[in-house]
């Protein structure tokens, strides 16, 4: 471009500028159209409807903050928030820890490590529907989970997903199984980015692989840990598929989540206004927790 423009006078170059401008927007137009309609307008509508009562049949009625006030007095919503908080508090640390161990194991130059990597990753690529159906079957009172426990001497016949006490922990297990390897890949990439000379120096100083892991790898992985904790938390806040497929929020609201409540209010009971308010609250919650985590977890690497 520059080569051509240099010999030309000022007017053609201005023309060229406008033409590039027009071309750029022509290239962008299809994507921008969908972005404006299904994200831009949708966000505005979500906020607007959250201030209304709307049941699809009659026109929306403006009700101010009523939906938000209702949410914080709604036993089901508070129950859902408690469930999600418990779920996040267990799943995020366990999944981060397991993923870190998996990454550390894969980083050793083990034989068959390509096989290991792909085998561990399979739970992450199967659809949530398939993995949930599989675990619903494994979790049956006559299923393999109970059989395995009996095999090692724990004589139980628990109805894992049907019992109030075990339903949420069962879904936690399912989800850690299905997402740990994705987090592992983030850790693995970060581990492989750590400059080799640091390890060589440690090796010369007599540090073994375990000590190197705890004193070099983990401290240098802080940015990756931040990312994994953040992505994990966001994922936990949005827990939906397993609940929708396996338990419908039950038994007795033991697995009710905010997103499931949003679906139930909006699409089963047609309280579109209230469902929108729940959505806005969910967004605010995720946004707030991201800011808090950014504050408490230092993201800068040390080298």
Partner 1 sequence: MATRAATVTTVTVREPRFPFRISRIIFLVAAVIFTILALTPFVLTVSGSFKTKSEILDWPPTIIPQVFQWQNYVEVWTNSHFFPQWILNSVFLAAFHLFIYIGICSLAGYAFARLRFPGATVIFLAILGSIMVPGQVLWVPKFLILNQVGLVDNLLGIGLPDLAEVFGVFFMTQFFKSLPKELEEAASIDGAGTFRTFRQIILPNAYPALAALAILRFQASWNSFQWPLIVVRSPEHLTLPLGLASFQGLFGVNWNWVLAGAMFNAVPIILLVIFFQKYFIRSAASSAIKG
Q: How many Cβ atoms are within 10 Å of 141's Cβ, its own excluded? A: 14
49 touches partner 1 (CB under 8 A): yes
Interface of this chain with partner 1, residues 62 to 81, rule: CB under 8 A: none
225 touches partner 1 (CB under 8 A): no
Instruction: Measure CA of the first residue to CA of the last residue in the chain; give whole Å.
Output: 40
114 touches partner 1 (CB under 8 A): yes
240 touches partner 1 (CB under 8 A): yes
Q: How many Cβ atoms are within 10 Å of 193's Cβ, its own excluded? A: 12
85 touches partner 1 (CB under 8 A): no
Binding residue for partner 1, selected from 222, 283, 289, 293, defined by CB under 8 A: 283
Count of residues making up the chain: 303
Q: Rounded to whole angstroms, what are the CA distances from 74 to 51, 71, 79, 198, 273?
A: 17, 5, 9, 55, 15
49, two tokens: 């409807």
For the bound state, the minimum distance from the C-beta of residue 238 to partner 1, rounded and expressed in Å, comes to 5
5 touches partner 1 (CB under 8 A): no
Nearer to partner 1, 97 or 267 (CB): 267
Q: Which residues pair with 18 in a beta bridge?
A: none
For the bound state, the minimum distance from the C-beta of residue 45 to partner 1, rounded and expressed in Å, comes to 4
Distance CA 192, CA 100 (A): 13
Interface of this chain with partner 1, residues 123 to 152, rule: CB under 8 A: 123-138, 140, 142-144, 147, 150
DSSP string, 122-165: HHHHS-HHHHHHHHHHHTSTTSHHHHHHHHTT------TTTSHH
Cα torsion through 251, 257, 259, 262, rounded to 10? 70
Binding residue for partner 1, selected from 9, 152, 204, 210, defined by CB under 8 A: 210
Interface of this chain with partner 1, residues 18 to 37, rule: CB under 8 A: 20-21, 23-25, 27-28, 30-32, 34-35, 37
For the bound state, the minimum distance from the C-beta of residue 103 to partner 1, rounded and expressed in Å, comes to 11
Query: What x/- string results for residues 164 through 203 when contact with partner 1 is judged by CB under 8 A?
Result: -------------x---xx--xx-xx--------------
Binding residue for partner 1, selected from 12, 93, 195, 209, defined by CB under 8 A: 209
Q: Note whether 276 and 50 are within 8 A (CB).
A: yes
Distance CA 276, CA 286 (A): 15
Nearer to partner 1, 168 or 281 (CB): 281
58 touches partner 1 (CB under 8 A): no
> Binding segment for partner 1 among 75-83, 101-109, 195-203, 294-302 (CB under 8 A)?
101-109
Cα torsion through 238, 243, 248, 252, rounded to 10? -90
Binding residue for partner 1, selected from 94, 101, 216, 289, defined by CB under 8 A: 101
């Amino acid at each position: 471009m520059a080569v051509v423009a240099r010999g030309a006078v000022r007017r053609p170059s201005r023309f060229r500028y406008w033409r590039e401008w027009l071309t750029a927007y022509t290239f962008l137009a299809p994507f921008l159209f969908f972005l404006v309609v299904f994200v831009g307008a949708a966000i505005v509508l979500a906020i607007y409807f959250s201030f209304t009562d709307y049941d699809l049949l009659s026109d929306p009625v403006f009700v101010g903050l009523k939906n938000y006030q209702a949410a914080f007095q709604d036993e089901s919503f508070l129950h859902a928030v408690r469930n999600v908080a418990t779920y996040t508090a267990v799943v995020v640390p366990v999944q981060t820890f397991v993923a870190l161990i998996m990454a550390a194991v894969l980083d050793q130059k083990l034989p068959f490590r390509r096989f290991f990597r792909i085998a561990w990753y399979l739970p992450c690529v199967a659809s949530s529907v398939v993995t949930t159906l599989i675990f619903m079957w494994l979790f049956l009172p006559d299923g393999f989970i109970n059989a395995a426990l009996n095999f090692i001497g724990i004589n139980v016949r628990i109805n894992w997903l049907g019992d109030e006490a075990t339903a949420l922990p069962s879904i936690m297990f399912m989800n850690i199984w299905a997402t740990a390897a994705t987090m592992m890949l983030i850790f693995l990439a970060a581990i492989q980015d750590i400059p080799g000379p640091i390890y060589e120096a440690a090796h010369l100083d007599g540090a073994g692989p375990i000590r190197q892991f705890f004193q070099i790898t983990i401290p240098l992985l802080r940015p990756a840990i931040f990312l994994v904790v953040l992505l994990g938390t966001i994922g936990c806040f949005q827990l939906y598929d397993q609940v929708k497929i396996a338990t419908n929020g039950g038994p007795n609201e033991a697995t009710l989540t905010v997103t499931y409540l949003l679906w139930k209010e909006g699409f089963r009971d047609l309280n579109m206004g209230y469902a929108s308010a729940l959505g806005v609250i969910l967004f605010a919650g995720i946004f707030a927790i991201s800011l808090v985590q950014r504050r408490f977890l230092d993201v800068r690497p040390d080298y």
